A and B are shown apart, each in its own frame.
Chain A
């Protein structure tokens, strides 16, 4: 069977509790190679908790998360050893944080930030690492002359682009993004969205993007999942959910924004 004929991620009945409250309450979905899924909802809907649970960052209280590995078929990510899980997260996965400082190492250079993930894959040749890092800075439209500068000297938009380069340098097949464009100026947002859109397509990345911004979902995602109170209330093709929302909550969300 060809790799693209199976879901890259299969999530079944995931529950995550904080005390007595279920922040995520029985969520199941599949993600296919090359597919971009937006998870939308207001703050407190459980969307970020879900992202952490499916990206192996916070073990769920119930349910399964199965990832289709390159060589060993589907594996339950929480059944892997800590070391194996970390390797997966540093190579075949990417995680783009809303706040770039959380996804970067702020005390080393831009080039080292990108090169670090290559070294995790065993690359030791300094010249090759530097060349690859420079190449990725170009791909995210950064000035390569800044390769030795610390991200502390970068603007918010530049930091976010650097974080994306750091994540994509290992050619991951699945990228998780938590509100990747919020907190940026609108003009910077547009540029970043366009960059994300072209990169996900060029690299056939599967991605899960958590966002409260329906316009971001419209632009980037093939499919959408609407969350409320820890549950999925509606799911479907992006234009279908936005143009013909079925659930009262989705209708409220869609009618509350200006032309998503």
Chain B
């Protein structure tokens, strides 16, 4: 029952810049920690300490230089570093949610569809489930105070805060066992910050294992169950 959802062991990351004379840029060294279901670990450290890199490594957007990252997919631990792309795609679809500060917008896709997409993909041909997905997306957008007149508009023209909320809605529409949050409240006003804080806590209480970067001390104190000090990592 009490297997860790995320287990990181001896993780190091060095970028090799081949076009700059093979310069080596070490961003993480020997990181080890575990996150259990129902925990929220805040990464603590100055800018440049490798916090975002660590999240990207867990998400498999970056490749580890050494060490191991294992994610519990419900039936066993999957080693991210050696998993086939197809396995990683399945992990991202079903297990790992990742919310970054920035929304990567797709031209012409309405905000509502951007948010509903993770559920629509799961719905396949079922019209009922697709309709249900759109209703859930509306609910999330409403909760995050995106005015209904914007729901059918592509978010490319939205303000930074609005885009971030669309991104959060998309990241939270499917329950994920692992959540990676990179400054989810960076450009939000007070009301929305409180809403997002509540959403993070709800996900954690439902059993999500969360790793996050929370610059805002109030948010960090409200959501984190403990802190990982990045100075251990370099």
Contacts and interface: CB of A to CB of B under 8 A. Distances in A.
Contact of A223 (B15, B61, B85, B108): B85
B125 to A, nearest CB: 9
Interface string A219-231: 1001100000000
A251 B88 contact: no
Contacts of A194: 106-109
A38 B116 CA distance: 25
Contact of A191 (B56, B88, B89, B107): B107
A247 B17 CA distance: 9
A219 B88 CA distance: 18
A219 B106 CA distance: 7
B23 to A, nearest CB: 11
Nearest to B63: A244
A236 B107 contact: no
Contact of B86 (A32, A193, A218, A219): A32
A237 B60 contact: yes
A93 B50 CA distance: 45
B19 A252 contact: yes
B86 A240 contact: no
Contact of A243 (B17, B62, B89, B121): B62
Interface in A99-141: none
Contacts of B121: 201
A251 B63 contact: no
Contacts of A255: 19
A246 interface: yes
A237 B19 contact: no
Interface in A231-260: 236-237, 239-240, 243-244, 246-248, 251-252, 255
A179 interface: no
A193 to B, nearest CB: 7
Contacts of A222: 85, 89
A237 B108 contact: no
A236 B85 contact: yes
Interface in B22-79: 56, 60-63
B149 interface: no
B19 A248 contact: yes
Interface in B102-135: 104, 106-109, 121
Interface in A194-215: 194, 197-198, 201
Nearest to B53: A244
Contacts of B63: 236, 240, 244, 246
A237 B107 contact: no
B18 interface: yes
A218 B63 CA distance: 18
Contact of A240 (B19, B61, B107): B61
A129 B63 CA distance: 50
Contacts of B61: 237, 239-240, 243-244
B56 A243 contact: yes
A251 B85 contact: no
A66 interface: no
A11 to B, nearest CB: 15
Contacts of B17: 251
Contacts of B89: 35, 222, 237
A150 B16 CA distance: 54
A240 B62 CA distance: 6
A79 interface: no
A223 B15 CA distance: 21
Contacts of B108: 190-191, 194
B216 to A, nearest CB: 26
18 contacts: A191-B108, A193-B107, A194-B106, A194-B107, A194-B109, A197-B106, A219-B106, A222-B89, A237-B61, A237-B85, A237-B88, A237-B89, A240-B61, A243-B56, A244-B56, A244-B62, A246-B16, A248-B19
Interface of A: 32, 35, 190-191, 193-194, 197-198, 201, 218-219, 222-223, 236-237, 239-240, 243-244, 246-248, 251-252, 255
Given A194-B108, A237-B60, 7 more contacts: A35-B89, A190-B108, A237-B61, A243-B56, A244-B63, A248-B18, A252-B19
Q: 6 nearest interchain CB pairs?
A: A248-B18, A190-B107, A244-B62, A194-B108, A239-B61, A243-B61
